[in-house]
Amino acid sequence: MVGRTRTAYCSDVRRLLWLFHRKVCGLCHLQIMEVELGATHIDHRFPFVYGGGEELDNLSLMHARCNLGKGVSVSTSDALDYLEALFSSSRGAS
Ligand SMILES: [Zn+2]
């Protein structure tokens, strides 16, 4: 994971995530209004610093206050879901 760089997301990715996640914050689950999109943060459910990828399933849109309060953490269920999906996709690829 050394040398990975973070992606700078364009507004189209932000809008795609907003629609994909049904216009709700990935943490508090309250609705994110369209006018708030520019101030949202994109969060890695399985943290980038732990090797989390840029897949749509691993990204969620959050209110800035929610993401800043969350810090770098991952719930056990999110970690297991992510690693299970990663393991399944790598088994299917070989
Ligand atoms: Zn929120």
Render pLDDT for 19-28 as a digit per residue (tens, 0 to 9). Answer: 999 999 999 9
Distance 27 CA to ligand 1 centre (A): 5
Going from the N-terminus, what domains does the chain have, and what CATH number goes with each?
11-92 (3.40.1800)
What helix, strand, coil percent values describe the chain, rounded to 5?
50, 10, 40
Residue 52 in contact with residue 43, Cβ under 8 Å? no
- Kindly state the percentage of the chain with pLDDT values over 70: 93
Distance 87 CA to ligand 1 centre (A): 30
β-bridge pairing 59-62 and 41-44? antiparallel
| Cα four-point dihedral sign 11, 14, 20, 25 | negative
Prediction pTM value: 0.71
* Predicted pLDDT of residue 5: 73
Distance 22 CA to ligand 1 centre (A): 13
